[in-house]
Amino acid sequence: GAPSAALLDVRGVTMSFGGFNAMTDVSFSVASGTVMALIGPNGAGKSTTMNVLTALYQPSAGAVFFDGASLANAKTTKIAMLGISRTFQNLQVFGDLSVLDNVLAGMHHSIDKHANGRAMALLETVGLAAHAHQLARNLSYGQQRFLEVARALACNPMLLLLDEPAAGLRGADLAALKALILLIKEHGIAVVLIEHHMDVVMELSDSITVLNFGQVLARGSAAEIQANQAVQEAYLGA
């Protein structure tokens, strides 16, 4: 296909498990420094999309291009080195490690004499610096969500994938998460945001892709998606 200016370019991806297509001909692109929300009902294929973007799965058809190169031969263990990082829908914090060590674990190959300082700066950014030396399991649930974002940022990604980061967050935590995502975007990082909190999605997204039964149902700005009849019926309506 034609070259693209986008950092991430997903072209016609189908992901089959046995005979079942979790994704069918899914295409979208994300530019640096922008937030693209991936929304849709449970089972629509959102997390599967993130698993494809981190090379956990190889697409059955179609291709993913990141920073101009295909991910076809990428290994999921090397994906952070390419500049792609993620958080998980179900928290994957290392409870028996300190908060600081959780962030250091996210640095992979780039541990050097500056690592501790960089990790502390990230903890400062997410509001957890005072907890650096506690065991991660002693953090509140909301704090663990922020720790996961800090760990994902530790490898200096160009693309950050956030799978339901606001799940279970309320009030001040939700506001802090929005501010954090805006800060990440201001640093020029591209963000793919899976989220069910529509206020978060509508406030932060530069573009929205709606998945339904593994297919792209709609694509557009927040205003366009909110006005879309098919999206209202499949997902937003209530």
Nearest approach, Cβ of 110 to ligand ADP (angstroms)? 30
Nearest approach, Cβ of 41 to ligand ADP (angstroms)? 7
- Which of Mg ion, ligand ADP, none does residue 165 bind (CB under 5 to 8 Å by kind)? none
- Which of Mg ion, ligand ADP, none does residue 150 bind (CB under 5 to 8 Å by kind)? none
Nearest approach, Cβ of 226 to ligand ADP (angstroms)? 20
Nearest approach, Cβ of 4 to Mg ion (angstroms)? 26
Nearest approach, Cβ of 164 to Mg ion (angstroms)? 7
Residue with smaller CB distance to ligand ADP, 38 or 128: 38
Residue with smaller CB distance to ligand ADP, 45 or 128: 45
Residues near ligand ADP (CB under 6 A): 17, 22, 40, 42-48
Residue with smaller CB distance to Mg ion, 148 or 154: 148
Residue with smaller CB distance to Mg ion, 15 or 123: 15
- Which of Mg ion, ligand ADP, none does residue 17 bind (CB under 5 to 8 Å by kind)? ligand ADP
- Which of Mg ion, ligand ADP, none does residue 178 bind (CB under 5 to 8 Å by kind)? none
Query: How far is the C-alpha of 130 from the C-alpha of 195, rounded, in Å?
Result: 28
- Pick from 141, 164, 144, 162: nearest CA to 153: 162
Residue whose beta carbon is closest to Mg ion: 47
Residue with smaller CB distance to Mg ion, 39 or 123: 39
* Rg over CA atoms, the chain: 18
- Which of ligand ADP, Mg ion, none does residue 87 bind (CB under 5 to 8 Å by kind)? none
- Which of Mg ion, ligand ADP, none does residue 142 bind (CB under 5 to 8 Å by kind)? none
Nearest approach, Cβ of 47 to ligand ADP (angstroms)? 3
Give the C-alpha distances (Å, rounded to integers) separating 184 from 1, 17, 20, 153, 189: 30, 34, 36, 9, 6
Residue with smaller CB distance to Mg ion, 89 or 215: 89
DSSP output for the chain: ----SSSEEEEEEEEEETTEEEEEEEEEEE-TT-EEEEE-STTSSHHHHHHHHTTSS--SEEEEEETTEE-TT--GGGHHHHTEEE--SS----TTSBHHHHHHHTTGGG-STTHHHHHHHHHHHTT-GGGTTSBGGGS-HHHHHHHHHHHHHTT--SEEEEESTTTT--HHHHHHHHHHHHHHHHTT-EEEEE-S-HHHHHHH-SEEEEEETTEEEEEE-HHHHHT-HHHIIIII--
